[in-house]
Structure 1
Amino acid sequence: MIPTLFRLAARLPLALLHRVGTLLGWLAFWGSPPYRQRLRANVAQAGLDWARARGAVASAGRMVAELPWLWCRPHDQPLGGWVRWDGAEHVEAALAEGRGLLMLTPHLGCFEVIAQAYAERWGAMSPITALYRPSRQPALRELVAQSRNRPGLLTAPANLTGVRQMIRALRKGGTVGLLPDQVPPQGMGVWAPFFGREAYTMTLASRLVQQTGAAWLLFAAERLPGGRGYVIRVSVPAEPMPGTPADPAGGQDAEEVARRAAAVVNRAMEGLILARPDQYLWGYHRYKQPRPQAEVPADGAD
């Protein structure tokens, strides 16, 4: 039933889906006091006036409403004019170096479109591997899997096997995509400041750069008004990654390097978010305690 509804919704114009999403966003905001309080608290923690972030309520709904359009789009139907790139030269330069590319983006705007758009433009040269956690709803699991496995776009499970898959991809000069502003399982992160408050932050992003020597760039997919599509902005990080040859601090113990690296990644995400706070997913429980890590059998990969 749910996949059928998704496929029917995918036929609607993107502008209409976004209008429906606006309504959904506000219904969720007023219908759930805990969600509303957390969203407002996270905005305040970032030091923002409510007026600057108020649009994020509708943006969260639009994010949900546009998923059928993104997930059910035929593989042979390119995004084309729906996506515009700003800073594509940074991607070109990183790929030309041939040492792998790590793409980092927060839960901002239409982050789902970034991997698809990258795969269409550069996937034949350097396929992208994106970290993927299967849907908790069985009815959506197959639909989501089919939508994300496209030409030039591969997925890695959110476990040890997936980490090894991403390391192999980067060492071969491929590309990997991550959303580092989500809370990882216990033991896979460190506590680091995020908008002035300690948040459990994944170490995977920094480890991938440290272990493979890959380049890393920042991405943000801004949702354009009126259902006109998206602009993907690519930028170079303002700070070097700790634990790499470019790190001026040099030899500190591993725990200290991990904390500094997490703080660098968090500051990079903050910069992207503050540029478009009306499109960030402020309702996410960013400051929650991490969940226990599930046991994952080793697959023998290096």
Structure 2
Amino acid sequence: MSKLKYYLIVAPLRLAGALPLGLAQKLGRLGGQLAWMLGSGSRKVTETNIRLCLPELSEQQRQALARRSLAHTGMTAMEIPLMWEWPVEKCFGLIRETEGLDLVDQALASGRGLILMAPHLGNWELAGLFFSSRYRMAALYSPPHVPEFEDYMIRVRSRLGSELVRGDRKGLSRLMGILKEGGVAGILPDQSPRGKTNAYAPFFGIDVRTMTLINKLVQKTGANALVTYAERLPDQQGFRIVVTEAAPGLDAADPTTAATALNQSVEKVVRRIPEQYQWEYKRLRHQPEGRPNPYKDTDKS
């Protein structure tokens, strides 16, 4: 049964991975438009997040941004099989521009490790593939809900030598060792963390549960930290790899100060291309006790 589950999951990904970029993006955009027109749960979550995080926008601007966000999230979903199934040289052919790569070289020239924070912005799979081809790199991941999918995911993400480590004690110890040796660690910083290693800090002005892992890694290894993303260019032109500096304070002794710096780092790049952020994720669901669940109505739908 496990083999059957594996093929039922992987076969559609391999079929989608045979598509050209233009067609994949058109299909993804269509899926996003359908999600909008059908009033899906994803649309409701997106509208809620944009309304709360970007109150300075007019209602018309929020609706337009929400619609574009769903289209871009649909494109990301259809691009991921390409990043997993295409030959890596073909994937790299999609990168038309780069910005800020000198920041990576400067950080590693210090002899210390580097944490690359890659929010759910643009195509984070392409960003991970790009940096794993250039540096000794490990990436933190959470095991998928379907165990049969994990082997496949590890194989495609590590085909250039990147090491995938689980977010458990053993994995974090390995991540720390790589940083101490001057390597690179890739982390998605904008997930709502589980467990006790977190703090509440403002994200677009709203206090939410935020990971303190990066703060601990910086303190214990002396690693540098930067933010990166792969921006989707218009008209199926490809992508731009961008690296930018993180907000100061990630090494602060106070976890809340460090968590605030982390969220500021994410917020800064999201504001650059807000339509390419995954607003469909319930980032605001864990707030300090007593705060209402902003997704209460969407959870019922």
TM-score w.r.t. the length of structure 1 is 0.85
Report the alpha carbon displacement of residue 22 of structure 1 after superposing the two structures with TM. Answer: 0.7
User: 27, 43, 68: which is aligned to 1:36?
Assistant: 43
Larger mean Cα displacement after TM superposition, 15-24 or 155-164: 155-164
Q: How many residues align?
A: 273
After superposition, the CA RMSD in angstroms is 1.8
Q: Determine the structure 2 residue equivalent to 1:64.
A: 77
Give % identity. Answer: 34
Report the alpha carbon displacement of residue 53 of structure 1 after superposing the two structures with TM. Answer: 4.7
User: 6, 16, 37: which is aligned to 2:13?
Assistant: 6
Larger mean Cα displacement after TM superposition, 259-268 or 158-167: 158-167
Extract unaligned runs of 5+ from structure 1: 244-253, 291-302
User: 249, 267, 282: which is aligned to 1:270?
Assistant: 267
Q: Determine the structure 1 residue equivalent to 2:121.
A: 108
Partners of 2:144 and 2:84 lie apart in 1 by: 13
What code does the residue aligned with 2:50 have? V
1:63-109 CA-partner distances (Å, limit 9, x unpaired) = 1111110111235x453331132111111111211200000121111
- The reply to whether residue 79 of structure 1 matches residue 113 of structure 2 is no
Residues 116 and 166 of structure 1: is their aligned pair in 2 closer, same or farther, counting only changes over 3 Å?
Answer: same
Report the alpha carbon displacement of residue 136 of structure 1 after superposing the two structures with TM. Answer: 1.8
Q: Determine the structure 1 residue equivalent to 2:218.
A: 209
- Structural mapping, 1:103-182, within 5 Å: 103-120=116-133, 122-123=134-135, 127-182=136-191
SS in structure 2 of the partner of residue 268 of structure 1: helix
What code does the residue aligned with 2:218 have? V
Larger mean Cα displacement after TM superposition, 266-275 or 135-144: 135-144
Partners of 1:259 and 1:22 lie apart in 2 by: 38
TM-score w.r.t. the length of structure 2 is 0.85
Partners of 1:96 and 1:160 lie apart in 2 by: 29
Partners of 2:26 and 2:210 lie apart in 1 by: 34
Runs of 4+ in 1 over 4 A off after TM superposition: none
1:16-56 CA-partner distances (Å, limit 9, x unpaired) = 00100011122234445433222111111122431345311
SS in structure 1 of the partner of residue 138 of structure 2: strand
- The reply to whether residue 284 of structure 1 matches residue 281 of structure 2 is yes
Partners of 2:235 and 2:143 lie apart in 1 by: 31
1:117-143 CA-partner distances (Å, limit 9, x unpaired) = 0122x22xxx11111122223453332
Partners of 2:205 and 2:92 lie apart in 1 by: 39
Extract unaligned runs of 5+ from structure 2: 1-7, 288-301
What code does the residue aligned with 2:137 have? I
Larger mean Cα displacement after TM superposition, 270-279 or 4-13: 4-13
